[in-house]
Amino acid sequence: MDAPAEQMTPATDAAAEGHQLPESIDILQIMQSIPHRYPFLLIDKMVEIHAGQSAIGIKNVTVNEPFFQGHFPSHPVMPGVLIVEAMAQTAATLVVMTLGKAFEGKLVYFMTIENAKFRRPVGPGDQLRIHVDKERSRANVWKFKGVARVDGVAVAEATFSAMIMG
């Protein structure tokens, strides 16, 4: 029996012209796109991918996360900087998928993080839905607005830019 055809969304960015992206990708495809690995790979899946524009990264937060051993053992809280890093990993995967195979595994470096706000703690059992939207891109520099939500409620947000090293 044949597997169902993967649903595709048309590429809308000029850089992505000529190819389509899947509507969702799994952890193996994320690992093919960016070089991060355990314990620093902070997204498990991506959905609602719109080439060159936006995507949602999903992070299932479990009690087994290594940062909970010290932050804080009696009241586990995901560090806010790691939520911002998860935003950046979501954006980096979107950029690499938009630009194509030649950029898979390339390093992406933060350039700026602005207006970071943390609204409420994130802990074990939460599922982060990390919404990233491109504000602009120029050459190899991309700027995004990210909002992380748990159960539809914003828990963190930031605007950030990064450079992909090609």
Q: Give the closest residue to 95 by CA, choosing from 156, 8, 21.
A: 21
3-state SS class at 86: helix
Specify the amino acid at residue 143: K
Global pTM value: 0.88
The residues annotated as belonging to the active site are 71
CA gap 44, 61 in Å, rounded = 10
Every domain of the chain and the residues it spans:
24-164
CA gap 152, 160 in Å, rounded = 22
Local mean pLDDT, 10-residue blocks, the chain (166 residues): 38 48 95 95 98 97 96 96 98 94 90 98 98 96 98 98 89
Question: In the prediction, which pLDDT does 56 show?
Answer: 98
CATH topology of domain 24-164: Thiol Ester Dehydrase; Chain A (3.10.129)
Question: In the prediction, which pLDDT does 156 show?
Answer: 98
Q: Give the closest residue to 145 by CA, choosing from 37, 67, 54.
A: 54
Specify the amino acid at residue 123: G
